[in-house]
């Protein structure tokens, strides 16, 4: 309280309300900070004994957690005493930085990042399957008549991102191998396979890149739209997403995880309702499994030139 005389009067000013206001503001800020930090894909609050399982960010974090948390719980159930935490990343650059920093105990990188991880002390123990799902597609509206890849010359095309192996790189190499001279000005990268397909559906692009697996799931969830679309061409297959383990994880545990994943789709007690994105299919694999991916990158570099972020790391794969 402040007391002071003025004009023959004594004034008492109580500033306790300021203290209350400041307290309320501080509480509000703390609450907002807590809310902002409540969702942390980085997994920084994991227990010391938690095994961090990093999934490459092919979709948004929420969908990724919904798809792969059941796998983490399955592993915990089959391997008593273990604790797995699925970790998302904000984008591919963030994910690849975590691989380089050896953040993950286990990870599921795409085929390119699987090769990348080998340079940071990881090794391949399993992979997703079937490889037939790891093919690219070129998709367009059914009412567009496009007899051959050359007919796409100068027309707007869209793809998920420059480094998306199945959704972008396989389709672009297919087009180049079949006579289309791709002008960079005609290509737009729209961030996701979902956006890629919608751009072709709306007519903003004449054709788009997608993958066998995503197209199957999108068609299932959007049957009416799918009837208006058609698959123009399908690319070759590459080895599917890898499962890698850090070199300081106990070999026995690594083998148990690999064997458990490889046996998932043969488990009679498995609840298929938990795996709506067909993500419960794995098989055993090794580093040598990804030799076809290495050859693909060399072909892509010769035909189209690797994306900048890949070219910078190309020495890793020689």
Question: Does residue 233 share a domain with residue 248?
Answer: no
Residue 23 belongs to a domain = no
Residue 31 belongs to a domain = no
pTM of the predicted structure, to 2 decimals: 0.78
Question: Does residue 261 share a domain with residue 231?
Answer: no
Helix, strand and coil in the chain, % to nearest 5: 45, 20, 35
List the CATH number of the domain containing 155. 3.40.190.10
Question: pLDDT tens digit string along 29-47?
Answer: 444 443 343 334 444 455 5
Is residue 229 within 8 A of residue 201, CB to CB? The reply is yes
Q: What is the dihedral of CA 301, 194, 240, 148, to 10 degrees?
A: -50
Question: Does residue 180 share a domain with residue 63?
Answer: no
Is residue 121 within 8 A of residue 249, CB to CB? The reply is no
Question: Does residue 115 share a domain with residue 261?
Answer: yes
Work out the number of other CB atoms within 10 angstroms of the CB of residue 213. Answer: 22
Can you read off the two tokens belonging to residue 275?
Answer: 């795996």
Question: Does residue 244 share a domain with residue 231?
Answer: no
Question: Does residue 191 share a domain with residue 207?
Answer: yes
What's the chain's average pLDDT?
Answer: 86
Choose among 208, 154, 215: nearest CA to 180: 154
Question: Does residue 247 share a domain with residue 229?
Answer: no
Question: Does residue 201 share a domain with residue 146?
Answer: yes
In this structure, the strands spanning 106-108 and 242-246 are: antiparallel
Residue 109 belongs to a domain = yes
- Phi then psi for residue 256, to 5 deg, are -65, -45
19 contacts: CB under 8 Å, gap ≥ 6: none
For the segment 61-65, the average pLDDT, to the nearest whole number, is 89
Question: Does residue 139 share a domain with residue 91?
Answer: no
Query: Of residues 217 and 250, which shows the higher confidence score?
Result: 250
Question: pLDDT tens digit string along 148-168?
Answer: 999 999 999 999 989 889 999
Number of domains present in the structure of the chain: 2
Q: Which domain covers residue 174, as residue numbers?
A: 135-237
Question: Does residue 260 share a domain with residue 113?
Answer: yes
Is the bond preceding residue 39 a cis peptide, omega within 30 degrees?
no
Question: Does residue 124 share a domain with residue 76?
Answer: yes
Is residue 171 within 8 A of residue 232, CB to CB? The reply is no
Q: Tell whether the model's pLDDT for residue 311 goes beyond 80.
A: no
Can you read off the two tokens belonging to residue 317?
Answer: 């794969």
For the segment 199-208, the average pLDDT, to the nearest whole number, is 98
Q: Where are the alpha helices (DSSP H) in the chain?
A: 16-36, 61-78, 92-100, 111-118, 170-177, 193-202, 212-221, 223-227, 251-262, 291-303, 308-311
In this structure, the strands spanning 135-141 and 106-108 are: unpaired
């Amino acid at each position: 309280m402040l007391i002071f005389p003025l004009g023959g009067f004594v004034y008492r000013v109580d500033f306790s309300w300021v203290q209350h206001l400041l307290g309320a503001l501080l509480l509000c800020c703390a609450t907002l900070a807590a809310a902002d930090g409540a969702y942390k894909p980085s997994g920084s609050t994991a227990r010391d004994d938690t095994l961090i399982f990093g999934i490459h960010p092919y979709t948004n974090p929420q969908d990724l957690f919904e798809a792969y948390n059941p796998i983490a719980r399955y592993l915990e159930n089959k391997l008593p005493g273990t604790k797995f935490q699925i970790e998302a990343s904000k984008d591919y650059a963030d994910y690849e930085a975590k691989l380089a920093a050896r953040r993950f105990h286990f990870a599921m990188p795409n085929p390119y990042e699987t090769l990348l991880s080998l340079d940071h002390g990881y090794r391949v123990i399993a992979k997703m399957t079937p490889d037939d799902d790891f093919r690219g597609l070129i998709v367009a509206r059914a009412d567009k008549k496009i007899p051959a890849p050359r007919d796409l010359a100068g027309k707007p095309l869209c793809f998920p991102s420059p480094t998306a192996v199945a959704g972008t790189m396989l389709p672009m190499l297919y087009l180049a191998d079949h006579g289309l001279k791709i002008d960079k000005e005609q290509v737009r990268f729209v961030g996701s396979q979902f956006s890629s397909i919608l751009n072709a559906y709306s007519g903003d692009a004449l054709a788009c890149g997608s993958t066998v697996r995503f197209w199957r799931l999108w068609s299932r969830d959007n049957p009416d739209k799918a009837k208006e679309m058609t698959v123009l061409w399908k690319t070759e297959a590459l080895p599917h997403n890898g499962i890698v383990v850090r070199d300081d994880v106990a070999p026995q545990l690594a083998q148990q995880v690999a064997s458990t994943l490889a046996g998932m789709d043969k488990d009679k007690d498995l609840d298929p309702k938990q795996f709506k994105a067909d993500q419960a299919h794995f098989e055993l694999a090794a580093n040598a499994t990804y030799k076809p991916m290495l050859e693909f990158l060399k072909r892509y570099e010769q035909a189209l030139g690797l994306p900048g972020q890949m070219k910078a790391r190309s020495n890793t794969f020689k």
